[in-house]
C-alpha cells in the first residue's frame, strides 16, 4: 500500500517535472524562432504564471551543525525497524549512518550518550495553523480563514504566517521539525498550504521547506455550508458544497485549456493574446497538473467517497483526507485509492460530522491498509503528537490489532512526509536524508516522555537542559514568564 | 413521551447486578491517601464500600475474586469541571444544557443532567466514576473547550447568532453527578457552587473591562445580602432596585454566607490576586479554575487555602491573560502547598485527557506519588465530597482496575466499580468500533452484521 502511494506520488512529481520542462521548452522555442513573421509580444512580468513559478522563494538555510553521534539509544527509524542500543551519526546536515551498537563512530564526532533514551525522526505535523492562528489568539491576528467567498483558491497561507508565533517554539520542544501550515476550513477551497521547517526566523521565507510542493486546502461538510448558508449564500447544503467544487474545477479546466491554446499558438509562431492571469485558477490548474497536492478536510466516510468521485471526474488526485473521523469505515477504499488520512487519536463528537469518531479510528483504517497519519490541527496537541499516536495505537491494541511502536511512529513521521511530498528528504532515519532527529528522555509513546534534544538538518535547535537552545519569540521578550516554558 | 419511556426501559435493562463482595488480588494499590501506594495487595469491596485493603489482606469466603495480575487499582477518577451529562454534542445547541443564556447565578445545571448520555459509558472507560457539571458562558470563558476544526469555532468566535445571549456575570450553579450505569437519579448533590468567569471573559460580559466586572460582582453580593435580610420588603416591592433577579439573588445567598463556594475561572496573576482579595473581604469560599499564571502567585494561593483546578497542558500565551503559562504550573503550585486538581478538556469524547494530563504534570515536575490525588482525592477535597476519592476502608467502592499505570497512554480500565457494582463495558463508540474492526466474513456490509 505505502509503496503504491509512493509510486503514485513519484508519478505526480515526474508529471510536475515534465510540465515544468514543457513550459520552459515552449518559452525557449518561441525566442529561438527568428523566422516567425510577427514575433509574439513579451508578456509583462506577473501576467504569465509560468515566468516566475516560485514568486516567494525559500531563503531557508540550515543552522550550523557539527559531526554528531548518538549512541546507546533505542532507535525507531520509521522504516519499520527498532534498533536497541543503536548508533546514529549525522554530519553536514545529513544522516551518515544508522546502525547497531557495534557501528564505528567517526573521529571528531560530538558523542551524545543516549543510554536509556530513544531516538526518532523529527515529528511532522501535517495539519497546523501555527502562524496563521497564532498565540495570542486575538482578532487582529486571526489570519487563517479568508471567509468571504467559498472559493478562495487564490490565497496562500504563507502570506498569513506570523513567524513570531510562540507556538512554533512549543511545537519544537515537542519534537516537531516540519509542519504544513494550512488555511482554515470555512471555504470549499481555502487556499494554498505551505510546508515549513520549524526554525526560528524573522521571515516566512526563512522557514519555507525548499522545494516542497504546495498543497490546496479543500473542505467538505459542515463548515463551508454553515458559514455561507448562514449568510443566505451558496453553499447552504452538502449538495451545494459538491456543486461548488465541480463548478470551480470546470472553471479551472477551462482556464488551463486557454493557456494551453495560447502556448500552442506561440510555439507555432502565431500571434496570440495571453489569457488574463487568475491566481485562484493557477492553483487549481496546479492540482490538475499534479504539481499541487490536495489536502482535503473531510470527516465522514460517505463524503470522502463523494470527493474521490469528484477527483476522478476532473482528473486530479486527493493526497490526504484531514480529520477523517470515519476513516475506519472506509479503510479499504482509502487503501485502494492510495489516499492518506490524517486524524487525531480521538477528538471527536463535538459536532455531527464527528459524532461517529472513535478512538480506534486510526488503528482500524491502518490495519485495512490505509496510509495513516496523526495530525494536530491544534497548538496544544502539536506539542505531543507522540502521545496522540500512542493513544491511537493503544486503542487498536485494546482490540487485538497488535500495532507496534515501529509501525505507529510512521504515523507522525514518514507517512506525513509522504502526504506532503517530502518523504525523499525527511521523515525516516535513512542515510542521506536530512538529519531531522529527536532524542527522547524515554519511550516516546509514554506519557512521561519529553524531547530532550531536537535537531533540524543536523543542527541542535532545542535542548531541554540548555537555555541557549530554547529560543524565545520576539513577542515573549519582557513578558511575564518570558516564554520560559521549561521546568 | 413514548421515546422517553423507551429510553427509561433501556436504562432499566442496562442496570447491572447489585453490589456483591469482590476481592481484587495481586494488585498494585494506588490509594491516593496518606497510605500511598501498596506495591502488591488485595482490596475487598462489600455492600458498596471498601471493606479492606492491604498487602496482608485475603479474600473473604464467598467473594468473587479478580486476579489483577499486577495491574493497578486506583480510586475512580472525578472530573472536576465538565459538561459531561449536560451536553451531548458541543456544536448542536439543542443538546447543550451546560449554559444558561439568560438566568445568572440562578441557573441550575442539575435539571439538565441526562443519565442516558452516550458519552457517560465512554467516560467510564477512561476510569471516570463521578463528574462535577459546571456551567459555562455561551461564548466561552476559562471553561471554553479547545478550538479545533479550524474554521468552526474560530469562524464563529466573534459571530452573532441567536444562541449566545449571556447571563449577567454568573454562569449558574454546578452539580456533582455520579456515572453509574442505570442510575436514573445520578445527581449526587445539586447547587454545589456558583460559577463566575472573570478576567477577559468576565470583562467582556460586564461590558468591556475588569473594573466593571468586579464592581458588578461586589454589588451583586451586596444585593444578595440585602435581599436575604429582608425578603418580605422585596416581595412588597419596597426595596431598592437590585441588579439581578430574585432567583439569582436566592442562589447567591449561600455563597455570601460562606456555605457554598464560588468557582472562579481566572488566569492572569493579577486577576487571581483580585479574586483572593474579593474572597477575603467578602468572606466567601472560592475555588479557582484555570489559573494559567497561578505559579506566579502560588504562595498567596496557598496562604488563602484555596484549591485550584487546572489543565496541565496550558503552556501557550494564548491570550494576554495567560502570557506566563507553563507546563510546570501544577508542580509549582503543589510544591507551594496548594491543593491541585487536574482537569482534562471539556470536550466530551476526550475525557481521557484528564489522566494523561496528570501524567504530563509528572513529566514536568509533579511527584508521581502526588499525581493520582490530583484526579481523585484532591478533586473530592476541593468540592467537599466525603467518602470518595481515595482507597480507604469505609469509603464508597468507586474503584478502577487498570491494565497498567493509570496515567499511561498504553493503559485502559479492565473493570470499573461504582458503589461496589461492576459497570458494563459497552459504549456507543465501542459498538461502532466493533462493527467496523473486523471485516465481514459473510459478504454483507458491516451495517448488516
Average pLDDT in chain A: 92
Q: Which of A131, A349, A393 to mutate to test the interface with B (most CBs of B within 10 A)?
A: A349
List Cβ neighbours of B305 (8 Å cut-off, separation of 6 or more). Answer: none
Q: How confident is the model at residue B348 (pLDDT cuts 50, 70, 90)?
A: confident
Of A350, A356, A447, the CB nearest to B91: A350
Interface contact flag, A449 B363, Cβ < 8 Å: yes
C-alpha cell of residue A133: 492562528
Q: Which one-letter DSSP state was computed for residue A403?
A: -
Nearest chain A residue to B87, by CA = A350
Burial per residue of A94-122, b for 16 or more beta-carbon CB atoms within 10 angstroms, e otherwise? bbbbbeeeeeeeeeebebbebeebbbbbb
Mean pLDDT, range B4-23, rounded to an integer = 57
Instruction: Give the separation between CA B348 and CA B90, rounded to whole angstroms.
Output: 8
Instruction: Give the separation between CA A338 and CA A2, rounded to whole angstroms.
Output: 8
Using an 8 Å CB-CB cutoff, list chain A residues near B365: 487
In sequence order, what DSSP letters do the residues of A178-209 get, joined into one string?
EEEE---SSSSEEEEEEEEE----SSSTTTB-
**pLDDT for B8 beyond 60:** no
Nearest chain B residue to A449, by CA = B363
Torsion (CA) A342, A344, A345, A350 in degrees, nearest 10? -130
**pLDDT for A16 beyond 50:** no
Instruction: Give the separation between CA A257 and CA A478, rounded to whole angstroms.
Output: 55
pLDDT at A42: 80
C-alpha cell of residue A82: 527498532
Q: How confident is the model at residue B448 (pLDDT cuts 50, 70, 90)?
A: confident
Interface contact flag, B148 A347, Cβ < 8 Å: yes
R_g of chain B, CA atoms, integer Å: 23
Of B323, B328, B436, the CB nearest to A479: B323
Mean pLDDT, range A220-235, rounded to an integer = 95
Instruction: Give the separation between CA B84 and CA B114, rounded to whole angstroms.
Output: 9
Q: Which of A350, A360, A368 to mutate to test the interface with B (most CBs of B within 10 A)?
A: A350
CB B326 within 8 A of CB A484: yes
Of B152, B317, B356, the CB nearest to A351: B152
What digits encode the pLDDT tens for the residues B260-282? Answer: 999 999 999 999 999 999 999 99
Instruction: Give the separation between CA B100 and CA B87, rounded to whole angstroms.
Output: 13
Q: Is residue B2 part of a domain?
A: no
R_g of chain A, CA atoms, integer Å: 23
pLDDT at A483: 63
Of B155, B356, B439, the CB nearest to A387: B356
Size of interface A-B (CB pairs under 8 A): 201
Domain CATH number, residue B283 = 3.20.20.140
CB B68 within 8 A of CB B25: yes
C-alpha cell of residue B219: 454589588
C-alpha cell of residue A413: 513521521
Q: Is residue B282 part of a domain?
A: yes
Instruction: Give the separation between CA A128 and CA A412, rounded to whole angstroms.
Output: 13
Nearest chain B residue to A355, by CA = B89
Of A346, A364, A449, the CB nearest to B437: A364
Nearest chain B residue to A128, by CA = B150
What digits encode the pLDDT tens for the residues B18-64? Answer: 679 999 999 999 999 999 999 999 999 999 999 999 999 999 999 99
List Cβ neighbours of B158 (8 Å cut-off, separation of 6 or more). Answer: A139
Using an 8 Å CB-CB cutoff, list chain A residues near B91: 222, 350-352
What digits encode the pLDDT tens for the residues B328-342? Answer: 999 999 999 999 999
Using an 8 Å CB-CB cutoff, list chain B residues near A190: 151
Of A135, A347, A360, the CB nearest to B350: A347
Of B155, B296, B410, the CB nearest to A394: B410
Instruction: Give the separation between CA A136 and CA A438, rounded to whole angstroms.
Output: 27
Q: Beta strand B399-402 with B72-75: parallel, antiparallel or unpaired?
A: antiparallel
Instruction: Give the separation between CA B28 and CA B284, rounded to whole angstroms.
Output: 41
Using an 8 Å CB-CB cutoff, list chain B residues near A185: 149-152
Q: Is residue B12 part of a domain?
A: no
CB A187 within 8 A of CB A208: no
Interface contact flag, B154 A446, Cβ < 8 Å: no
Instruction: Give the separation between CA A240 and CA A335, rounded to whole angstroms.
Output: 28
Interface contact flag, A394 B151, Cβ < 8 Å: no
Tally helices (H) and strands (E) across chain A.
Answer: 11, 16
Interface contact flag, B356 A323, Cβ < 8 Å: no
**pLDDT for B163 beyond 90:** no
What digits encode the pLDDT tens for the residues A260-312? Answer: 999 999 999 999 999 999 999 999 999 999 999 999 999 999 999 999 999 99
Interface contact flag, B316 A352, Cβ < 8 Å: no
The shortest C-alpha distance from B320 to chain A (Å) reads 7
CB A356 within 8 A of CB A303: no
Of B324, B349, B407, the CB nearest to A357: B349
pLDDT at B149: 54
Q: Is residue B333 part of a domain?
A: yes
Using an 8 Å CB-CB cutoff, list chain B residues near A334: none
Of B151, B316, B430, the CB nearest to A135: B316
Nearest of A124, A207, A194, A126 to residue A165 by alpha carbon: A207
pLDDT at B17: 55
CB A455 within 8 A of CB A437: yes
Instruction: Give the separation between CA A481 and CA B287, rounded to whole angstroms.
Output: 24
Using an 8 Å CB-CB cutoff, list chain B residues near A399: 433-434, 437
Q: How confident is the model at residue A4 (pLDDT cuts 50, 70, 90)?
A: very low
Nearest chain A residue to B90, by CA = A350
Nearest of B311, B312, B270, B272 to residue B288 by alpha carbon: B272
Q: How confident is the model at residue B440 (pLDDT cuts 50, 70, 90)?
A: low
Interface contact flag, A350 B437, Cβ < 8 Å: no
How many CA atoms does the CB half-sphere of B384 hold within 13 Å? 17
Instruction: Give the separation between CA B38 and CA B60, rounded to whole angstroms.
Output: 19
The shortest C-alpha distance from B154 to chain A (Å) reads 8
Q: Is residue B234 part of a domain?
A: yes
CB B203 within 8 A of CB B321: no
Residue A148: Cβ within 10 Å count: 11
Using an 8 Å CB-CB cutoff, list chain A residues near B154: 133, 142, 144-145, 184
Average pLDDT in chain B: 90
The secondary structure of A339-398, three-state, reads CEEEECCCCCCCCHHHCCCCCCHHHHHHHCCCCEEECCCCCCHHHHHHHHHHHHHHHHHC
Instruction: Give the separation between CA B174 and CA B177, rounded to whole angstroms.
Output: 10
Nearest chain B residue to A139, by CA = B158
Interface contact flag, B347 A349, Cβ < 8 Å: yes
The sign one gets for the Cα dihedral A107, A109, A110, A114 is negative
In sequence order, what DSSP letters do the residues of A82-105 get, joined into one string?
EEEEEEEEEETTEEEEEE-TTS--
First to last CA, chain B: 31
Q: Is residue B341 part of a domain?
A: yes
φ, ψ of residue A89 in degrees (nearest 5): -125, 135
Interface contact flag, A448 B410, Cβ < 8 Å: no
Using an 8 Å CB-CB cutoff, list chain B residues near A387: 356, 409
C-alpha cell of residue B97: 444544557
Using an 8 Å CB-CB cutoff, list chain A residues near B437: 328, 360, 364, 399, 401
Instruction: Give the separation between CA A299 and CA A90, rounded to whole angstroms.
Output: 40
Interface contact flag, A390 B323, Cβ < 8 Å: no
Q: Which one-letter DSSP state was computed for residue B400?
A: E
Of B146, B269, B433, the CB nearest to A380: B146
Q: Structural domain tally of chain B?
A: 1
Q: Is residue B241 part of a domain?
A: yes
In sequence order, what DSSP letters do the residues of B68-104 get, joined into one string?
-TT-EEEEPEEEEEE-TTTBS-TT-GGGB-S--SS--
Q: Quote ipTM for the complex.
A: 0.92
pLDDT at B101: 82
pLDDT at B449: 59
Q: How confident is the model at residue A72 (pLDDT cuts 50, 70, 90)?
A: very high
Using an 8 Å CB-CB cutoff, list chain A residues near B410: 390, 393-394, 397, 445-446
pLDDT at A24: 35
The secondary structure element, H or E, covering residue B432 is helix B428-437
C-alpha cell of residue A106: 567517526
Nearest chain A residue to B268, by CA = A480
CB B156 within 8 A of CB A222: no
pLDDT at A18: 36
Interface contact flag, A133 B149, Cβ < 8 Å: no
Mean pLDDT, range B401-426, rounded to an integer = 97
Q: Which of B9-18, B326-335, B393-402, B425-434 has the lowest mean pLDDT?
A: B9-18
Instruction: Give the separation between CA A408 and CA B189, rounded to whole angstroms.
Output: 44
Q: How far is CA B242 from the centre of its chain?
A: 32
Of A145, A383, A480, the CB nearest to B151: A145
Interface contact flag, B148 A348, Cβ < 8 Å: no
What digits encode the pLDDT tens for the residues A405-421? Answer: 999 999 999 999 999 99
Instruction: Give the separation between CA A71 and CA A85, rounded to whole angstroms.
Output: 7
Interface contact flag, A138 B319, Cβ < 8 Å: yes
Using an 8 Å CB-CB cutoff, list chain B residues near A446: 408-410
Domain span holding position B86? 77-388
List Cβ neighbours of B188 (8 Å cut-off, separation of 6 or more). Answer: B130, B175, B176, B177, B178, B385
Q: Is residue B149 part of a domain?
A: yes
In sequence order, what DSSP letters do the residues of A219-259 get, joined into one string?
E-THHHHHHHHTTT-S--SHHHHHHHHHHHHHHHHHHHHHH
Of A186, A346, A487, the CB nearest to B151: A186
Amino acid at each position: 500500500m505505502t509503496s503504491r502511494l509512493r509510486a503514485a506520488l513519484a508519478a505526480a512529481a515526474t508529471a510536475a517535472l515534465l510540465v515544468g520542462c514543457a513550459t520552459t521548452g515552449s518559452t525557449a522555442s518561441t525566442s529561438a524562432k527568428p523566422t516567425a513573421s510577427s514575433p509574439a509580444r513579451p508578456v509583462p512580468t506577473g501576467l504569465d504564471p509560468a515566468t516566475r513559478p516560485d514568486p516567494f522563494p525559500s531563503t531557508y538555510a540550515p543552522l550550523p551543525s557539527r559531526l554528531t553521534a548518538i549512541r546507546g539509544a533505542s532507535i525507531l527509524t520509521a522504516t519499520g525497524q527498532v534498533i536497541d542500543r543503536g548508533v546514529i551519526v549525522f554530519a553536514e546536515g545529513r544522516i551518515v549512518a544508522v546502525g547497531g551498537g557495534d557501528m564505528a563512530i567517526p573521529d571528531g564526532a560530538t558523542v551524545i550518550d543516549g543510554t536509556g533514551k530513544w531516538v526518532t525522526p523529527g515529528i511532522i505535523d501535517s495539519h497546523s495553523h501555527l502562524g496563521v492562528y497564532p498565540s495570542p489568539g486575538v482578532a487582529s491576528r486571526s489570519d487563517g480563514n479568508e471567509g468571504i467567498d467559498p472559493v478562495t483558491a487564490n490565497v496562500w497561507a504563507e502570506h498569513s504566517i506570523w513567524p513570531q508565533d510562540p507556538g512554533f517554539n512549543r511545537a519544537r520542544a515537542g519534537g516537531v521539525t516540519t509542519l504544513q501550515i494550512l488555511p482554515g476550513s470555512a471555504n470549499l477551497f481555502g487556499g494554498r498550504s505551505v510546508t515549513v521547517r520549524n526554525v526560528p526566523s524573522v521571515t516566512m521565507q526563512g522557514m519555507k521547506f525548499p522545494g516542497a510542493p504546495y498543497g490546496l486546502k479543500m473542505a467538505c461538510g459542515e463548515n463551508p455550508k454553515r458559514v455561507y448558508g448562514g449568510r443566505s449564500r451558496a453553499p447552504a447544503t452538502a449538495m451545494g458544497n459538491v456543486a461548488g467544487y465541480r463548478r470551480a474545477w470546470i472553471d479551472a479546466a477551462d482556464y488551463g485549456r486557454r493557456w494551453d491554446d495560447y502556448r500552442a499558438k506561440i510555439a507555432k509562431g502565431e500571434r496570440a493574446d495571453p489569457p488574463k492571469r487568475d491566481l485562484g485558477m493557477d492553483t487549481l490548474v496546479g492540482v490538475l497538473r499534479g504539481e499541487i497536492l490536495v489536502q482535503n478536510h473531510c470527516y465522514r466516510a460517505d463524503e470522502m467517497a463523494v470527493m474521490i468521485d469528484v477527483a476522478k471526474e476532473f482528473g486530479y488526485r486527493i493526497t490526504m483526507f484531514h480529520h477523517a473521523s470515519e476513516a475506519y469505515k472506509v479503510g479499504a477504499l482509502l487503501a485502494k485509492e492510495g489516499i492518506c488520512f490524517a486524524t487525531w487519536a480521538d477528538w471527536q463528537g463535538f459536532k455531527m460530522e464527528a459524532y461517529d469518531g472513535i478512538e480506534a479510528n486510526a488503528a482500524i483504517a491502518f490495519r485495512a491498509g490505509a496510509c495513516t497519519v496523526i495530525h494536530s490541527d491544534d497548538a496544544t496537541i502539536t506539542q505531543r503528537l507522540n502521545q496522540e499516536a500512542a493513544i491511537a495505537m493503544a486503542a487498536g491494541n485494546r482490540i487485538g490489532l497488535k500495532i507496534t511502536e515501529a509501525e505507529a511512529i510512521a504515523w507522525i513521521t514518514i507517512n506525513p512526509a509522504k502526504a506532503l511530498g517530502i518523504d525523499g528528504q525527511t521523515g525516516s532515519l535513512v542515510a542521506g536524508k536530512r538529519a531531522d532527529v529527536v532524542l527522547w528522555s524515554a519511550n516516546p509513546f509514554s506519557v512521561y516522555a519529553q524531547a530532550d534534544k531536537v535537531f533540524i538538518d543536523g543542527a541542535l535547535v532545542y535542548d531541554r537542559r540548555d537555555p541557549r537552545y530554547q529560543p524565545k519569540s520576539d513577542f515573549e521578550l519582557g513578558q511575564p514568564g518570558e516564554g520560559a516554558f521549561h521546568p | 413521551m413514548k421515546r422517553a419511556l423507551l429510553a427509561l426501559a433501556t436504562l432499566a435493562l442496562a442496570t447491572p447486578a447489585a453490589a456483591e463482595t469482590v476481592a481484587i488480588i495481586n494488585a498494585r494499590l494506588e490509594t491516593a491517601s496518606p497510605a500511598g501506594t501498596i506495591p502488591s495487595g488485595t482490596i475487598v469491596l462489600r455492600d458498596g464500600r471498601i471493606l479492606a485493603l492491604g498487602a496482608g489482606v485475603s479474600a473473604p469466603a464467598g467473594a468473587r475474586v479478580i486476579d489483577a495480575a499486577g495491574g493497578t487499582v486506583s480510586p475512580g477518577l472525578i472530573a472536576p469541571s465538565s459538561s459531561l451529562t449536560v451536553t451531548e454534542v458541543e456544536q448542536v445547541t439543542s443538546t447543550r444544557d451546560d449554559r444558561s443564556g439568560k438566568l445568572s447565578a440562578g441557573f441550575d445545571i442539575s435539571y439538565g443532567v441526562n443519565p442516558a448520555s452516550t458519552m457517560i459509558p465512554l467516560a467510564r472507560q477512561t476510569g471516570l466514576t463521578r463528574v462535577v457539571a459546571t456551567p459555562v458562558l455561551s461564548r466561552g470563558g476559562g471553561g471554553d473547550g479547545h478550538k479545533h476544526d479550524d474554521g468552526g469555532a474560530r469562524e464563529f468566535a466573534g459571530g452573532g447568532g441567536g444562541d449566545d445571549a449571556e447571563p449577567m456575570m454568573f454562569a449558574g450553579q454546578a452539580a456533582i453527578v455520579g456515572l453509574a450505569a442505570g442510575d436514573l437519579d445520578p445527581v449526587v448533590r445539586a447547587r454545589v457552587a456558583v460559577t463566575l468567569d472573570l478576567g477577559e471573559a468576565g470583562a467582556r460580559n460586564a461590558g468591556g473591562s475588569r473594573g466593571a466586572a468586579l464592581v458588578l460582582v461586589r454589588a451583586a453580593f451586596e444585593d444578595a445580602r440585602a435581599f436575604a435580610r429582608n425578603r418580605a420588603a422585596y416581595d412588597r416591592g419596597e426595596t431598592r432596585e437590585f441588579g439581578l433577579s430574585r432567583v439569582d439573588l436566592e442562589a447567591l445567598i449561600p455563597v455570601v454566607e460562606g456555605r457554598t463556594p464560588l468557582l472562579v475561572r481566572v488566569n492572569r496573576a493579577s486577576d487571581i490576586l483580585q479574586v483572593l482579595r474579593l474572597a477575603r473581604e467578602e468572606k466567601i469560599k472560592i475555588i479557582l479554575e484555570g489559573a494559567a499564571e497561578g505559579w506566579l502567585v502560588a504562595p498567596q494561593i496557598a496562604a488563602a487555602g484555596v484549591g485550584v483546578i487546572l489543565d496541565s497542558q496550558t503552556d501557550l500565551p494564548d491570550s494576554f491573560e495567560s502570557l506566563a503559562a507553563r507546563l510546570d504550573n501544577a508542580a509549582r503550585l503543589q510544591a507551594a502547598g496548594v491543593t491541585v486538581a487536574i482537569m482534562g478538556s471539556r470536550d466530551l469524547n476526550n475525557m481521557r485527557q484528564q489522566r494523561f494530563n496528570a501524567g504530563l504534570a509528572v513529566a514536568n515536575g509533579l511527584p508521581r506519588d502526588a499525581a493520582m490525588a490530583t484526579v481523585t482525592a484532591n478533586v473530592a477535597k476541593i468540592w467537599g465530597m466525603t467518602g470518595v476519592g481515595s482507597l480507604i476502608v469505609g469509603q464508597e467502592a468507586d474503584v478502577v482496575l487498570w491494565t497498567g499505570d493509570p496515567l499511561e497512554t498504553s493503559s485502559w480500565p479492565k473493570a470499573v466499580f461504582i458503589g461496589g457494582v461492576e459497570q458494563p463495558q459497552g459504549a456507543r463508540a465501542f459498538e461502532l468500533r466493533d462493527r467496523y474492526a473486523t471485516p465481514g466474513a459473510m459478504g454483507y456490509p458491516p451495517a448488516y452484521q
